[in-house]
Structure 1
Amino acid sequence: MSDFRAIATVTATLQRALQAAIQADIAGATVSTVRPAEGTNTHLPTAGVNIYLYQVSQNPHRSNLDLPTRRSEGGLVQRPQIALDLHYLLSFYGDDLTLEPQRLMGSTLAFLHSQPMITRAQIEAVVADASKAFLAQSDLARQPELVRFTPLTMSLEELSRLWSVLLQVQYVLSVAYKASVVLVERQLKPQPALPTRAFNLAAVPLRQPFIRQVVADAGEGVPIRPGDPVRIAGVDLQGQATQVLVDQAQVALTDISSDHITINVPAMLSAGPHRAQVVQGVRFDPAGTPRMAVRSNLGTFVVHPAITQTAGKPDIAITNVQGAGAAPRSASVTVGVSPPVGADQLATLELLQQQETIYTFAALTPRAAPAAQLTFPVSGVAAGDYLVRVRIDGAESALQLDPNRVPIGPKGTVP
């Protein structure tokens, strides 16, 4: 790669190469590298070519190869480098009566077309030139890719806009070229990588575990409660080292095979939808810790809440009843719920007759988290007996059924 002198070295090498080329065609012609200007003492040639670097841009292709250069703690892994394209304006000066600018342009274009790249020998000659001692330490010649010059097609409007940047400078015959690519880096010393103390190699079949469904171990359709056994059914679930994550937390396995895994739902898992995932690892050393490498799709399941009971009776209290006779009632309904309900969970109360929901009410907020009791303000309710059901984040509590599967509880009475 190249140090900070690379850009100047490209300009000086182009100047030296063009000087030799145009002198062979037009006697006395010279090449300068100054900003175009008007007046005396501008150092522009009377007859010759002026090279002016008017723009530098980042090369869009090589810049993608600049891999991360530092470790997470900030240590240097490799020298950061920037890939640049240099944009040059070549202006031609001379006697218009003898068409000198045009002859200089023809000589320059023919040379750059026949030799579009500057060679390492040309760069080394410039670096060794005593008149350019400021480039003596340049290492552009060690850059792996040679710098190539390509003409830029510019419309008259674009060329006029470029010259308008040079205030109070009259236009002269000129062309634009791009030099690509120049790799520039700081002379930093990367920290050596830590030595490899040992290595292990393991070869295993590439199989992706897949979860088909997550259901209660007692059977599909049975509500899942905290602490219940759950069956994860799927394909290729058993690996060298297998873990099950429920909401990104690892849980213990009670049974495992290729097509199913059984776990117990964590006792403190909240009501509502949850996600299970199977993670398989590769064991490089029989006695070592496996490295987790393959993850399954996400399987979803729902933990259902339950209305708690005390001495065989549901924990449902209806208080502060307002209204009498045939008038609708207002009251506060307090229900014991398991598992406790989080502060950000949506809780609703449903009052049913038979299997039809008659009323729905939201719980009071804010509430302490987690809450084992929920209070629901109800209004506009007709007096009578109702089946009571709570719904937490969409997961509903189960109703008690008789042998004919008719709902019989839990119940609450609005007096």
Structure 2
Amino acid sequence: MSNHLAVAAATEALRLFLARAVQPDFPFAVEVAARKPPTEPPTDPTITVFLYQVTPNAALRNQDAPTRAADGTPLTRPAAALDLHYLISCYGEESQLVPQRLLGSVVRSLHEEPVLSRRDIEDAQRQAYLLGADLAASPQRVRFTPTPMDVDELSKLWSTLFQTPYALSVVYQGTAVLLEGRQAPAAGKPVLRRTVTVTPTRQPLVDRVLSRRAGAGPGTPPAEGPVPRDHELVLVGSGLRGTGHVTARLGDLTQEPAAVGDTQAVVPVPEPLPPGVYPVRLVYGLRDGDEHRVVESNAVPFVRQPRIAGPVRVESRVVTGGGLVSATLAVPLDLPVGDEQRARLLLDELDPPAGRAARSYQFTAPYPLGERPDPKTVRVPVERVQPAKYLVRVQVDGAQSPLDVADGRFSGPAVDLAAS
């Protein structure tokens, strides 16, 4: 997701990419400019990059719907998905076929590297007029594909460029840029109780992924739900004993099970596994004569759940107009968070007055998180929050930290964002 500067940042990044990619092909300087084709064609070698049309992306335009609840409360942050259409024109000495040479270099470069790199986007965002652009942090990469146009379509396109003579050109479509809305969605509270029913269908089959505290012993019944740091997985299914050597795959990590039975397997969770949602499956290594075969069970997802491991610190508190509070919250977790993981801070008002609904806020941590003194601490800026005491949760790649429950209600962890 990106802000309103994403379209301009994509255009400038494309210009920088072409300037870097085509220059080694020529012994002379080539100017690459992001502008409309000129009415007076230049004689010096020149490439113009002109964004002549913007259209909605049909595949992504509705991915955030519905964005609001029946009462108008935002459920997800709206995002407009756009395709960018560029006219790339080449100019130069016709007697030496400079426009055709430039065109060949442009087509080859965009065919070799059709996706805008983070380096080019970050270089573009350093321009003074693009400060604050965040296209480089978007998970959606802009990919360029050539757009075939016949003579009639080319004639219509160039006729819209009033008094601009035709130049040798190609048309490319950039897919896609997501423009994120400014209104943050409200964060609902987590589910207190879960009821799941699963019907087995095949063997070896994992029906459910449960967990229990590591070292609690086989007599301790496992529970459903997210898996905290100090818990081990209990896979429940049928035909799990299998034959041959059994290992477990948790995401990209391999782990030896602590115990494997026909209906249950116990798998310790590797300590380096960060918070997030991961598939787990059992892998059976079988040897048939000189051949080695691998049989896998079905994959079932589980949530590696972080927990807030200490008091939430309020840093750089500022009281803005209207008594609203802006600050940076430092949240300590019991699991390290990777530099490339995406983290969000969820705030819910702890004790709203009678007759008024609790306020909720959602804030996104900077991406990428980068190098930090303590990888278990996530710092998230919050802006323009009503002064109050708030329940605090952190969501890392879809895995939310839990809230404490006392007397049938959520009680913590909490942070005091009073104005003074």
TM-score range (shorter-chain normalised) is 0.3 to 0.5
Q: Flag the structure with larger Rg.
A: 1
What's the TM-score once normalised by structure 1's chain length?
0.45
What's the TM-score once normalised by structure 2's chain length?
0.45
